[in-house]
Chains A and B, each alone.
Chain A
Amino acid sequence: MRILDRTKENIRTIRTAGRLGWAMESNWTDPFLFAIYSIVRPLASSLILVVMYYVVTRGKTGMDLFAYIYVGNAFFMYVINVLFGVSWVIHEDRDHYQMIRYIYISPIRMYYYLFGRGIAKMILTTVAVIITIGFGMLVLKIPVNLLSVNYPLLIFSVAAGIFIITCLGILLAGVSMITAHHSYALTEGMSGLFYLACGAIYPIDILPVWLQYVSKALPLTYWLELVRRSVLGKSVSPTLGGYSDVQLILIMAGTTLVLALFSHWIYRSIEYIARKYGKIDQLTSY
């Protein structure tokens, strides 16, 4: 009964925070402009990569590698947007709206609140990924066959990816509690690190050996490989290509568990420090 009540409480928190997050994401302009922005922004960022790819390779590397880069880049939008959506909440609630003290002393669990606030970004990113992949199929002739996409694996992978990125977001939210508005740079820096190390736009095999160890310790590496396999049906990376889907899922589950525990520990520790030094509702903007 107690577990059921807690689950209800947590779902209510996610739902309410989700509505707040959606209002913040969508209420800054009129719906038409918002729709245009939501379509144009992901396409523009993908096209930059396409142009860079053709300038550098002159199209000599073949469609397989281009599809690898394009799909990886499209799904990496989840990392950038959801990580920012979850971790930026602390700064936004503390400095901009100055409501964090009231949120913090309410009987909700902050993890669920942070996740809920990130939901709007998750929805918008899902739309952006669909638009980007669709554009790639229609205009750039990315070899995606909608009938042969492994949808169960895709849905599972996206859900797992959102969980992984939320864990990372909660970790950064913890750090934001004791840092000033530098946390913006921190989130961008982390995204950049993952972009470099997780095989988003090139196989991890080309990285230096020591950096490959870092890649293999990050669940995002396996997540990106799984979403690519589910969409494109094959792997380009010699290292990750040696694993079956089930093996990849198990490795991803293991590394995710370690990440979740680490994220929980960091968040709770920093929350304690913030409470000890009176930083929960301290204004840092200047």
Chain B
Amino acid sequence: MNLAVETFDLNRTFKLKKAKNKKENGNNDGKLIALEDANIKIHQGELFGLLGPNGAGKTTLIKILATLLLPTSGRALVDGIDVVKHPERVRKQINMVSGGEHCGYGILTVRETLWMFSQFYGIPNKVALRRTDELLKILKMEEFARTKIGKLSTGLRQKLNFMRGFVCDPKIMFLDEPTLGLDVQIARDVRAYIRTWMKKDLERTVLLTTHYMAEADELCDRVAIIDTGKVLVCDSPQNLKKSLAGEAVFRIEVPLDVNGMEKFGQIAGVKQFAYDHKSHLGRTELKFILEEESAISNVTESLSGNGSKIISLSKMEPSLEDVFLALVGRGLKDEN
């Protein structure tokens, strides 16, 4: 099977300013390692997910593949073309959508923006207009076709940014957190469109970065989990979740004011532990991956001993988030 993207020991480091370096990186030689020996193979026709927390190196990898950034060392091929040696040839095969509200020039309308980018990609006028109409309809933006971008809401701007990427119909699409900050319904529309777009042509490839594990689980054929610049594992979501089959995953909700949570990871039988403060609900969600189910009694005893009231306790099927927790030793939302 042909490869759409292939990287060989890809590295990228950034020099840090002195003050920032001393404060944040201690003895890291003034360098921030954004990517470390990343080796990824994405097949043509695949919807590939790159998962990891903020700062994991996802955007850096996409920027290198999209010819915006040079790697420090290593090699990257997109559609078999070297991104360093032949960026002009790579650009004919790709497009990119980054999350966020910047989608065009405020003085242009939605339709003008889509037309403009289609022209930059050499799309014939008739095809561009037809594709624009299709996208406007599918993403429910028809009534805003003649609205200037400056007057669109944040959600609609993000939708337009998404349409801007797809109106050019690239062979390989890089989606960098495309649903970041979108409301539930719009995110659902976007995910549905990605699936439909992929089905229409089996040669189309998508590299999706996200830190929404459920999104990756729902969409991706294969995913790579990345943290601190290193690719930790790469497989299908099903296989990754199967790797936790022998372990028990429990979710426990406790009030927000629980103390001594750092000790929960040391409870006998606990393999990994993470927490997520849900201030709006007035509770904290604790997640435990246990070596075996019986270890849950140690957890509840420890919580009771700590004076914590258990609001709810449930056993869960392993998710990609649990795979991440098992691999990295912390949850995606943990600050450290």
Residues of A within 8 A of B (CB): 9, 12-13, 15-16, 19-20, 23-24, 27-28, 97-99, 101-108, 272, 275-276, 278, 280-281
Residues of A within 8 A of B106 (CB): 97
State the Cβ distance, A9 to closest chain B Cβ, in Å: 6
* Interchain CB contact (< 8 A) of B91 among A15, A23, A107: A107
- Residue of A13, A99, A278 touching B104 (CB-CB under 8 A): A99
Chain A residue at minimal CB-CB distance from B91:
A107
Given the known interface contacts A24-B105, A106-B91, the answer about A275 and B116 at a Cβ–Cβ threshold of 8 Å is no
CA distance A240 to B117 in the complex (A): 47
B132-147 vs A: 1/0 string, CB under 8 Å?
0000000000000000
Chain A contacts for B116, CB-based, 8 A:
16, 19-20
Q: Does B122 contact A (CB under 8 A)?
A: yes
Question: What residues of chain A lie closer than 8 Å to B94, measured between beta carbons?
Answer: 105
| Interface membership of B63, Cβ < 8 A | yes
CA distance A160 to B106 in the complex (A): 33
CB of B96 within 8 A of chain A? yes
Q: Report the Cα distance A250→B280, complex, angstroms.
A: 75
User: Are B68 and A280 interface neighbours, CB within 8 A?
Assistant: yes
Q: Look across to chain B and name the residue whose beta carbon is closest to the beta carbon of A276.
A: B70
The contact of A105 among B66, B70, B107, by CB within 8 Å, is B66
Inter-chain contacts of B164 with A (CB < 8 A): 102
Question: Which of A19, A24, A28, A275 is B68 in contact with, Cβ under 8 Å?
Answer: A275
The smallest C-beta distance from A38 to any residue of chain B, in angstroms, reads: 17
> Chain A residues with Cβ under 8 A from B70's Cβ?
272, 275-276
Establish whether residues B121 and A107, one from each chain, have CB atoms under 8 Å apart when the complex forms.
Answer: yes
In the assembled complex, the Cα of A105 lies from the Cα of B122 at a distance in Å of 14
| Contacts A20-B108, A97-B106, A107-B122; A102 near B117 (Cβ below 8 A) | yes
A24→B122 contact, CB < 8 A: no
CA distance A24 to B107 in the complex (A): 7
A34 to chain B, nearest CB (A): 13
Chain A residues contacting B117 (CB-CB under 8 Å) are 102, 106
When chains A and B are docked, how far (Å) is the Cα of A182 from the Cα of B69?
Answer: 23
Interface size on B, residues (CB 8 A): 30
Chain B hits for A272, CB < 8 A: 70
Indicate if the CB atoms of A278 and B105 lie closer than 8 Å: no
A99 to B100, CA, bound (A): 12
Residues of A within 8 A of B92 (CB): 107
What's the Cα separation between A28 and B107 when bound, in Å? 8
Query: Residue on A with the closest CB to B116?
Result: A16
Interface centre among A98, A101, A106, A281 (most CB of B within 10 A): A106
- A97–B108 alpha-carbon span in the complex (Å): 12
Contact call A9/B69, Cβ cutoff below 8 A:
no
Q: Are A107 and B105 within 8 A (Cβ)? A: no
Beyond the given pairs A12-B122, A24-B105, A27-B107, 4 more chain A to chain B contacts, judged by CB atoms under 8 angstroms and listed by A's residue number, are: A16-B116, A107-B122, A278-B68, A280-B69
Interface digits, B98-121 against A, CB 8 Å rule (1 contact, 0 not)? 101010111110001000110111
Please, which residues of chain A bring their CB within 8 A of the CB of B69? 275, 278, 280
Q: In this complex, which of A28, A102, A104, A280 has the most chain B Cβ atoms within 10 angstroms of its Cβ?
A: A102
B105 and A97 contacting across the interface, CB-CB below 8 Å = yes
> A-B pairs with the 10 shortest C-beta distances?
A98-B102, A16-B119, A106-B120, A27-B107, A107-B91, A107-B92, A276-B70, A105-B66, A108-B120, A278-B69
Contact assessment for A101 and B68 in the assembled complex, using a CB-CB cutoff below 8 Å: yes
| Residue in chain A with minimal CB distance to B120 | A106
Q: Are B68 and A97 in contact (CB under 8 A)?
A: no
B contact residues around A16 at 8 Å (CB) = 116, 119-120
A102 touches which one: B96, B107, B108 (CB < 8 A)? B96
Contacts of B319 in A (CB 8 A): none
Whether the Cβ atoms of B68 and A23 lie closer than 8 Å is no
Q: Of B92, B104, B119, which is in contact with the most chain A CB atoms at under 10 Å from its CB? A: B119
- Complex CA distance for A15 and B107, rounded to whole angstroms: 17
Bound-complex Cα distance A272 to B67 (A) = 11
Complex CA–CA separation, A12 to B70 (angstroms): 29
The one of B66, B107, B122 in contact with A9, judged by C-beta atoms closer than 8 angstroms, is B122
The yes or no answer to B8 lying at the interface (CB within 8 A) is no
Q: Tell whether B9 is near chain A: CB-to-CB under 8 Å.
A: no
State whether A105 touches B108 (Cβ < 8 A): no
By the criterion CB–CB under 8 Å, are B122 and A97 in contact?
no
Known interface pairs A107-B91, A281-B68. Does A99 touch B120 (Cβ–Cβ under 8 Å)?
Answer: no
Task: Assess the B68–A13 pair: CB atoms within 8 A.
Answer: no
CB distance from B131 to the nearest CB of A (A): 16
